[in-house]
Each structure stands twice: as structure tokens, then as C-alpha cells.
Amino acid sequence: MMNLKKLCLPIILGLTFISGHAQVRERTIEEIKVEAQARAERGAYPLGGLDPADVKEALLLIRTRDRDDWAKGWSTIAERYMAAAAKAQTPAEASNLYKRAWRLYYFAQWPVPASAGKKEAYANALNSYLKYAQTLDPPLEVVKIPFEGTEIVGYLRLPKEAKGPVPLALAISGLDSRKETVAETYSEILKHGIGFFAVDSPGTGQAPIKVSPTADRMFSAILDYLQQRPEIDKSRIFTHGVSFGGYWAAKIAVTEQKRLIGSVAQSPPVDTFFTEKFLREGTLGNREYLFDLAPAFVNVFEGANTIDDLVRLLPNMSLLKLRLLDKPAAPMLIVTGAKDTQVPMSDVDLLLRSGSIPKEAWINPVGGHLGREPRGWTDPVIFSKVILPWEIRLIEQTGSK
């Protein structure tokens, strides 16, 4: 049988992966279409917020797994909403149309903008989102933080008519979510007197650096900046990361323990996730993920062009091997599903059992990645009913210092 280590990136974008002695087959384009439509109908990731009718129309335009074909199908529908928004009669109508266009462009570049067409779609997603953001009240501020000769781009929103410095969530995107999707989620926190700063995780979106064992320095630079803003209560900053963003949330709960009052880590990779065995058996061709999980990881890692590169680089990310798990950490909420196939439960268990600070956990016994399951525990529900209450309680317990 062919050894996967001999395969280069162009080949792993095909339909079959070799994993040990078993073949793991990626979905065909027709299977992707069926699964995507089904997820859109129930509001499941990564199609939450998309109109099922728009999804059906876009999928009819897509004929192959070619990345540019994918981008063009979704972008065609998005362009229609952009044109309609330009002719809208009211700001509210324009806002809704720009938002719909953004969601379609975002999915056009999903999971990562790794082709010319997807890169164009991502640029259009940023443009449409910012047009939508101009209609928001309270306003969204695009922040650019100087960093190593380039810049960190993030979105800052603060509660309306806040009296004095406000507590803040540092919200970190995952492998294929973006700061725009995170900002939409965190808009709910504003009415509780808490602001947020949304940012792309390393290797994604507009992040200035790719994934590496030292990429958390990006978040240290963000905290340096946030603590200088007089509108923000620097003694009450917490973080929340989803999926691979959960890794960074767990890591900086340790490395930035003195500057964070808490951390929410959703399905955080910790140790086993970064092994060659899990890469081959749990990541390649993962069916919980819609498609292209392994190529997406190749895209975000510094120095990675092939699966063989990931085999070499992944172990260096382990929080266990970095000797961080037994160091002092900020209070933590860990959220996941017991049937998560993208991040092993053993990683969550290891994180829960490590260190000296008690941790809290919400584990959906029938849930998958991030705790999701189709009977009702979608991303918005988990955020509203599990994560947000914990964060509000955290703020109430700490008080203003």
C-alpha cells in the first residue's frame, strides 16, 4: 500500500487518504452538496446563518470540487446581494443585504482561501462585512496593531453609553471561522456591559503570522494594546477560542495568566491531537468536517506544504511537551462534545486533570466538535446558554478592581 508520507499536497486534495491500513475517502462534490444543504436546513456549522434557498441556488452552480468552481458558485449569489444593497432604500435594508452577501462570500472561501478564486472571495467577504459593520450600533472599530513589521487586524466593539472602563472578551477564531463570524457571535455580549475584541487566529484570515509554537506572541501584543485603551478595564479581560482557537485560549490561560481573569476553550487540541497517529486516523478525511480538513491545516502552519510537513511540525505544538499544563493558569471553562471526532476527548480529559486551578466543563454526551449536535445544540445555542452565562458570572465574581 502506498505510504502517505510520499504524497505531496496536490495529491492529498483528492478523494482518498491512506490512514494506517484503512482508506478514508473524502466526500465527492455530490455528497458535499447533499451534506451542505442538510446542514443549512438545520442551521448547522459551517452553514449557520445562510438562507437554505441561497444555498440551494449556489450549489446548483457548482459542478466539481475545484476550489475556484466552489468560490464562483457562492460568489455569484453574493454579488446579487451586493448589487441590491447598493440600491437599498433604507440603511436597515442595506445592512441586511450586505450581511447576506458577507455570509455567502465567507463560505465561498471556506475552509481557507487557498486558490485565486477563494482569495478573491475572501477579499470580497472582508469588503461586504465592513459595509455591513458601518450600519452597526454601537459601532465596530477596525483596529490595526503594529506587529513585527506588519500589523494585527481586529474588531473592537464596546457597549453603548458605557460609564467607565468595561470588561472585555478577547475572542479568537478557529481554523476556518474568522474574526467576522466571531464578532457576530459576540455582539450578544454588549447588552451585558461587556465589550469584545475579535481576531483571526494565527495562520487564518488577516493574521500576520502562521501557526508555530511561538505564535501566541501575537496575543501578547494584543493584550499590550488592549491594556492601553482607557475604555477597557484591563483588570477584567478574558478570552474565548473555538476549535484550534481553543488551543490558543488554553495556552494563553497559562502564558498570560496574570493578565487574564478567565478562559473559555472549546474543543481545544492539547496533546494527542498533535500526534501522527491522530493526524492519519482522526484528521484525514474526517466526516464530521464538511471537506478539506487536512489541506486546511497544511495551509495555516508555518513551514508546511505537505502532510509529511504536518507530521514533523504538529508534535512541537503539544501543551504537554511544552510543559505548560502544570503551570499556574487562569480559571477555565472547557466546552466539548463526547463524540467529537476532530479533537480527541483524551485531550480534554488531560487539560481538565492538569494544573492546580479548578476548571469547569460542559460536555455534551451526544455532541460532536465544540459540543454541537443536530437536535438543538448549535453554535449560537451553546454560546447563549453555556458560554455567555459563564462569562457574565466570571465578570460578576471579579468585580471592578
Residue 25 has pLDDT above 90, yes or no: no
Indicate the pTM of the whole model: 0.92
* Predicted pLDDT at 26: 82
Residue 11 has pLDDT above 60, yes or no: no
For every residue of 213-269, which 3-state class applies, written as one string?
CCCCHHHHHHHHHHCCCCCEEEEEEEEEEECHHHHHHHHHHHHCCCCCCEEEEECCC
Residue 375 has pLDDT above 80, yes or no: no
| Cell representation of residue 282 | 482522526
Q: Between 164 and 300, whose confidence is greater?
A: 300
* Predicted pLDDT at 38: 95
Beta bridge partners of 237: 168
* Predicted pLDDT at 5: 31
pLDDT grade for 24, boundaries at 50, 70 and 90: low
359-376 average pLDDT score: 92
| Cell representation of residue 332 | 477555565
What element of type H or E holds 332?
strand 332-337
171-182 average pLDDT score: 97
Closest CA to 332 of 362, 364, 359, 361: 359
156-164 average pLDDT score: 92
Q: What is the CATH number of domain 138-271+318-401?
A: 3.40.50.1820
Q: Are 263 and 330 in contact (CB under 8 A)?
A: yes
* Predicted pLDDT at 7: 29
* Predicted pLDDT at 400: 55
Query: For the segment 123-145, what is each residue's pLDDT rounded down to a tens digit?
Result: 999 999 999 999 999 999 999 99
* Predicted pLDDT at 301: 97
CATH number of 1-135, picked from 3.40.630, 3.30.870, 1.20.1440, 1.10.287 = 1.20.1440
Q: What residue spans define the domains of the chain?
A: 1-135, 138-271+318-401
Percent of the chain with pLDDT over 70: 94
Query: For the segment 83-92, what is each residue's pLDDT rounded down to a tens digit?
Result: 999 999 999 9
* Predicted pLDDT at 34: 97
d(CA 262, CA 264): 7
* Predicted pLDDT at 6: 29
d(CA 308, CA 301): 12
Residue 9 has pLDDT above 50, yes or no: no
